[in-house]
Each structure stands twice: as structure tokens, then as C-alpha cells.
Amino acid sequence: MSDEIQLNDPQTLYRRWEGSQWNPFEVDLERDREQWRAMDSEDRGLIYWLLASLMVAEERITTKFSGLVGAYGSEEEATFLATQQVDEARHMQFYARFQDEVVASPATVASHVGRARREVSPAFEQIFDVALVQAHRALVAAPEDLAAKVRFVAIYHLILEGTLGLTTFKFSTEYLDREDLLEGFVAGYSRIHHDETRHIGYGVWFLRETVRSRPEQAEVVKSTLGDLLPHVAEALSGSGDGGPDIERLGVSMDAVREFALGGLMRRLAIIGVELG
């Protein structure tokens, strides 16, 4: 498990949040603006695809979250979940600002998302527009239903944030650092990543506590992963329509898969779930 992802109870995570505030409008994007204008079309295409994925993901993750806040188990958990909702909105605002000021096409968040949607793959849509939306709807309809909450957290915290999110962050920021590109973007994305490690910490904590006290819920985690993992593998491969050649980032598909699955397996071991 990444040493950045520490298992802490919601009260500890909430106190950490209070000490980790940042403002998406204060990240310096001056040099990014110059670099964006000078970038070749291949680099631009790659970054644009990355931005589109992040824009769509953060919009979904922001607007398909409130059901979990309503399904809290304690006041401390409700407090932490309220902070996560703010974080996700802040992340969406940072990517929208980058589009406004660096890509230089100011628009509402909705039209940024609408444009970004044309760039993402069918696997990505399956995860964010079908699985996440359905799991959120089920939780809103039945906040007391533990299996609905487990399925939602398994999709959101374990798969979207823990597997897709961490993997995308690692390989894209390593590429940008190596090429000395878009340091403002990398700075904002790194603050976002720091927030995400807190969120994933909550998800692993919740699933571990739940599986300990209600072992039958392990089956819900397993079946959720079984449903989603094929789409995750496809989304990470960048295959299908519109995806870039992932190997342009200077990494092999094997390295991407190994990082993504390795992290997931370590988190599952902590939770107490074995994929059979």
C-alpha cells in the first residue's frame, strides 16, 4: 500500500482536511499558458485527452456523491464526507479554470464537460455514466441499505479513486515532470492527489470495518469488482475510440497494469477480501 494512504478513522481524516486547505485559483498558471501555446500538436492532444478524462471524472464524482453523505453511520463520518464533497467540487473547479485560462476557451463547467465527453472512451462511460450513476441512485433510494453503501464505496473509492485515479496521476505527472511541461497543472493536480489519498483512506477504512463486522459484505465488494474490472482494464489501456497511445507516456502497458492491480490487491488485503 502506498505509504501516503494511511488508514485513519473519519475524525482523524477530517482534522487532516482542516490542515490541508488550498485554493484552485491561486495556483500559478502563467508558465503553463506560454507552454501551451508553444506545444506541438501531439503533446497537446495527449494533454487534452488527459484533461478531458479528469474533467468528466471530477464532474461525475462531484455530482454523484451526496447519497453517501446521507448514508453516514456517525456524526464524525458525516463530517468527513461533507469535506470530501467540497474537495471534489474544488477539483472540478481547478480543471475548469485550466481550460478557461490555459487552453484559453472560457466557458461554463457544463460546456467544458460536454466538450470533454467527446474525448473519452466507451469503457470510461460505462464506469462513470452507468455503474457509478446506478450505484448512486440505489444509495439515494435506500440510505439504510448497507450493501448499497458498500457497492458505492467499492466503485467510488476503491476503483475510481484508488485504481483509475492513482494510476492516471502517477504516469501522467511522471511524464510531465520528465518533459518539464505544465508545472502549474502538475502543482494543482498534486494538491488534488493529496486530497484523493485522504478519500481513499476513508474508503479502505469503511470497507475494512464493514467486512470485519459483517463478513457477508465481502461478497458485495467481490461482485462489484468482478463487474467493473474489465472496463477498468480497458479504460487504462487507452484502447478503443479516441484514446491516446499510452506508450507515448514512456511506460509500458504492463507497468500500468502492474501498478494499478498491485495497489488494488494491497488495499483488498487490508480490507480482508480475497478475489477468488
Chain residues binding Fe ion by CB under 5 A are: 88, 91, 161, 196, 199
Taking the C-alpha atoms of residue 208 and residue 269, their distance in angstroms, rounded to an integer, is 9
Nearest CB to Fe ion, comparing residues 165 and 243 = 165
Nearest CB to Fe ion, comparing residues 32 and 88 = 88
Nearest CB to Fe ion, comparing residues 91 and 267 = 91
Enter the C-alpha cell of residue 250. 514512456
- Least distance to Fe ion, CB of residue 192, Å: 6
DSSP 2-70: -TT-----HHHHHHHHHT----TTSS--HHHHHHHHH--HHHHHHHHHHHHHHHHHHHHHHHS-HHHHT
Taking the C-alpha atoms of residue 174 and residue 179, their distance in angstroms, rounded to an integer, is 9
Nearest CB to Fe ion, comparing residues 11 and 85 = 85
- Least distance to Fe ion, CB of residue 176, Å: 18
- Least distance to Fe ion, CB of residue 33, Å: 24
Scanning the structure block, which residue is given the C-alpha cell 475510481?
160
- Least distance to Fe ion, CB of residue 84, Å: 6
DSSP single-letter state for residue 239: -
